[in-house]
Amino acid sequence: MNFSEYKEAIFKARPIPFKATSAILERQTVALEMAVARLNLLISEATNSLGQVSIVLYRAKRDNILALLETLAQNLSGDIHQSVLSVTEQTTNLISEVTTELVEDEDQGDIRFSFVTIPEGVLKDYAKRTDIEGLKFSPNIWAKRQMRNIEKQVMSAIMRGQSATSLAKDLVQYLKGGSVGMGHSIRYKTMRLARTEINTAFHETRRLGAISSPVVAGMKWRLSNRHPIWDVCNLLAQQDLYRMGKGVYPAEQLPPKPHPNCICYTMDQLREPKEWQTPQPVSTIKESPSNFKVADAKGTDRYIKKQYRIFTALLDRVVVDAKLETDVDPQ
């Protein structure tokens, strides 16, 4: 295996998180369909002779609706955890395989390296992160937050005399997708969390793999071709803080995923074979983060400044050998 074949193999690992996310979508779609059927039944059982939801009957069914949401949350939590583990193991195995092949083909087979601790490290990182909906902290908390949205809609429907049939349609939309004035649907929240966690796990697996690898010099931040708008990722891809090339970071200082739904990726920058027997050099920052022309960015002045603050905060978290300024607004 030569350098080009190694990079091609690493690039082909990108579908691993996408396939895992698609599999979750299929499973959770089935779960939501079942939940919709159950919710429709509960609403019908809380309907009075006028075709409206009765507050007395609704209160009798409230615990059943909450239990339904708790079951959804528990299943989703377990599904994401298993997917994170699977993605981590698949990616680690691929990194180990291609690194071993490259080292052996370059007649450096006596080099010792190991990636066995990567899954444990990724799962520790996964466990310490939280999400805005609270699912990772507690499925019950997540369910109660969704329940509050549903209850507001139910009480509003009762006060307005909305028919139970119309209310049921609104609640179905809240579960499956579609705007009914209740914020993002449960389906959207489910996929945002799954996509974010799985891609973050893939990103962290790649980072830990690069740290343990004798062949990797740095990691280049690459924008996804489905990158919709200018944001902090554009800034990360433009920097040459370590004079390793635009968007290239030592693995130890690779910034974490900066926002939900981020599907940007990294590519390995390789060391010369003669360097593989020596430890990685200590990484020191050599440049401050560059400013950028506001005219080159897309969005309001407030949005652009917010993205810049996120960018400098990310760098401040990962750069341990130099303090970056975090209060500079772009000019």
The predicted-structure confidence for 85-135, as pLDDT tens digits, reads as follows 999 999 999 999 999 999 999 888 789 899 999 999 999 999 888 887 788
Give domain limits for the chain.
1-214, 218-331
SS (H, E, C) the chain: CCHHHHHHHHHCCCHHHHHHHHHHHHHHHHHHHHHHHHHHHHHHHCECCCCEECHHHHHHHHHHHHHHHHHHHHHHHHHHHHHHHHHHHHHHHHHHHHHHHHHHHCCCCCCCCCCCCHHHHHHHHHHHCCCCCCCCCCHHHHHHHHHHHHHHHHHHHHHHCCEHHHHHHHHHHHHHCCCCCCCCCHHHHHHHHHHHHHHHHHHHHHHHHHHHCCCEEEEEEECCCCCCCCCHHHHHHHCCCCCCCCCEECHHHCCCCCCCCCCCEEEEEECCHHHCCCCCCCCCCCCCCCCCCHHHCCCCHHHHHHHHHHHHHHHHHHCCCCCCCCCCCCC
Structure tokens that stand for 309 in this block: 């603050």
User: Would you tell me how many other CB atoms lie within 10 Å of the CB of residue 300?
Assistant: 9
pLDDT values of the chain reduced to their tens digit, one per residue, 331 residues: 999 999 999 999 999 999 999 999 999 999 999 999 999 999 999 999 999 999 999 999 999 999 999 999 999 999 999 999 999 999 999 999 999 999 999 888 789 899 999 999 999 999 888 887 788 888 999 999 999 999 999 999 999 999 999 999 999 999 998 766 778 899 999 999 999 999 999 999 999 999 999 999 999 999 998 887 889 999 999 899 999 999 999 999 999 999 988 999 999 999 999 999 988 887 778 777 776 666 667 778 888 888 888 888 888 877 644 443 333 333 3
